[in-house]
Amino acid sequence: MNICVLFLTHESKPSIMQHFDSITLPAGWSKHLLVDEDSCAVSDFGNRNVIGFRHDNLVKLGYRPIAATIVPGSAHFPVIEFAYTHQYDYVWAIEFDVHWTANWLDFFNQFDHHADFLTTQLRRFDSDPEWVWWDSMQSPPGTLFPWHHPHASLASFNPIYRLSSAAVAALRRRFLWGWTGHNEVTIATLLEQDGFIVADMDSESEFKRGPHCKRVYSLDTMRWRPEFSLQDVSTFQPNQLYHPVKH
């Protein structure tokens, strides 16, 4: 199976490169640094496998961001474009400030390949109606939502996630057609509406990936804010995902 891990960064600090180097993979997998060239240079990363992207080039392809920069909400566009053009069976996207407190090989090996979208904090509108990004999702110009929005919408937290090749192709088609919004609402919502399997890494979620899965994060470890520091790493619980760990 052709699987790639994409490590997203807009910084070239030595600690970030060491983090990338430490990611061990199952046999036959590959990994690349996916680098925002609007913030740093590909040449900063030496002889590592580096793929650069620019926000303007993605817009020229037809992607519709919600802002003039990749953040907020559009960091999924370079992932989708790279995965689509390279035809991977599955692609993992991991932001540079995600920390796993064990061997990454053990992390990857615990997941089967059943879900088309595997992520964290999957939830429906009714469980979090005040969330700020629900209304960012818009259909192509001149069209209407084909379902009752936003009550049929899903949200997810995506510092780390996995997509199947079929999901990548479907999302790319949707986004180049004109769908837009923060990736934390568009990816899960569009994929579920298109009949794909969406799953959560959390064994306590209604979207859990299977009956025997372990819990690999909590709302205390995977969060938007406050930030963790590198000094906090020594206090982390084993076999857990943490975000954001700032370098």
pLDDT tens for each residue of 120-149: 999 999 999 999 999 999 999 888 777 666
Tokens of 41: 């240079």
Give percent of the chain above pLDDT 90. 88
Residue ranges of domains in the chain, CATH in brackets: 3-246 (3.90.550)
**Whether the predicted pLDDT of 210 surpasses 80:** no
Q: With contact defined as beta carbons under 8 Å apart, do 124 and 154 qualify?
A: yes
Specify the pLDDT at position 203: 82
Question: Inter-axis angle of helices 165-177 and 183-193, to 10 degrees?
Answer: 110
Mean pLDDT of the chain: 94
Q: How far apart are CA 39 and CA 75, in angstroms?
A: 13
Residue with token string 């995965």: 83
Burial degree of 226 (CB within 10 A; 0-12, 13-18, 19+): exposed
Q: Which residues contact 43 (CB under 8 A, 6 or more apart)?
A: none
Residue 193: count of CB within 10 angstroms of its CB: 16
- pTM listed for this prediction: 0.96
Specify the pLDDT at position 43: 96
Eight-class DSSP state of 78: H
For the stretch 157-170, pLDDT in tens is: 999 999 999 999 99
**Whether the predicted pLDDT of 220 surpasses 70:** yes
